[in-house]
Amino acid sequence: NVSKLLGIPRRTIRSWIDQKDDILAFDVNKKRIKLSPGGRPESFPDPVGLLEFIKEMRVRERALTSAHMITWINRFQTDWLRTYLAGKARGTGYQAILRLLQRFCHRHGFSRRKDGCGQQSQAALIEVRDEFAEAFHRS
């Protein structure tokens, strides 16, 4: 018996046989253990749309709060929001959606930003950069 000889459970060998075509067609780094990427699937129905909204708000240098994201979700994903909140215990829905959005932002590389007293607009920074470039190339 191969499983006893190799010390591998029979279920594992059976799954390898079932996945034989996928394993042999695997055309990436062979050190990777799984054929497909792991992790929990995204629970939010339109992550690309929400990411575009977040990036657009940041490009326009607008403050982005969780309330803004909830408003966006309510406008474009109303059915999902109602279903999500219906599955939560009474009085915990708002905290649950806030936590989901915090995790979403963290997972996609967004951090909390706080206004600094010395923060300048993008237009002002571009103007300073252009003035410096002009002075640098003049000398």
Q: Containing domain of residue 63, as a range? A: 47-111+121-127
- Report pLDDT digits (tens) over 32-54: 666 566 677 888 899 999 999 99
Distance CA 104, CA 98 (A): 10
Answer whether residue 19 is part of any domain.
yes
For residue 120 the two structure tokens come to 């300048």
Give yes or no: residues 12 and 63 share one domain. Answer: no
Return the exposure string of 77-92: e unless at least 16 CB atoms fall within 10 Å of the residue's CB, then b: beeebeebeeeeeeee
User: Which burial class, exposed, middle or buried, applies to 102 when counting CB atoms under 10 A from its CB (0-12, 13-18, 19+)?
Assistant: middle
pTM (predicted TM-score):
0.58
For residue 7 the two structure tokens come to 């010390």
Answer whether residue 133 is part of any domain.
no
Give yes or no: residues 89 and 59 share one domain. Answer: yes
Domains in the chain, number: 2
Give yes or no: residues 27 and 79 share one domain. Answer: no
- Report pLDDT digits (tens) over 42-87: 888 999 999 999 999 988 888 889 999 999 999 999 999 999 999 9
Specify the amino acid at residue 134.
E
Report DSSP state, residue 41: P
Give yes or no: residues 51 and 25 share one domain. Answer: no
Answer whether residue 88 is part of any domain.
yes
Answer whether residue 135 is part of any domain.
no
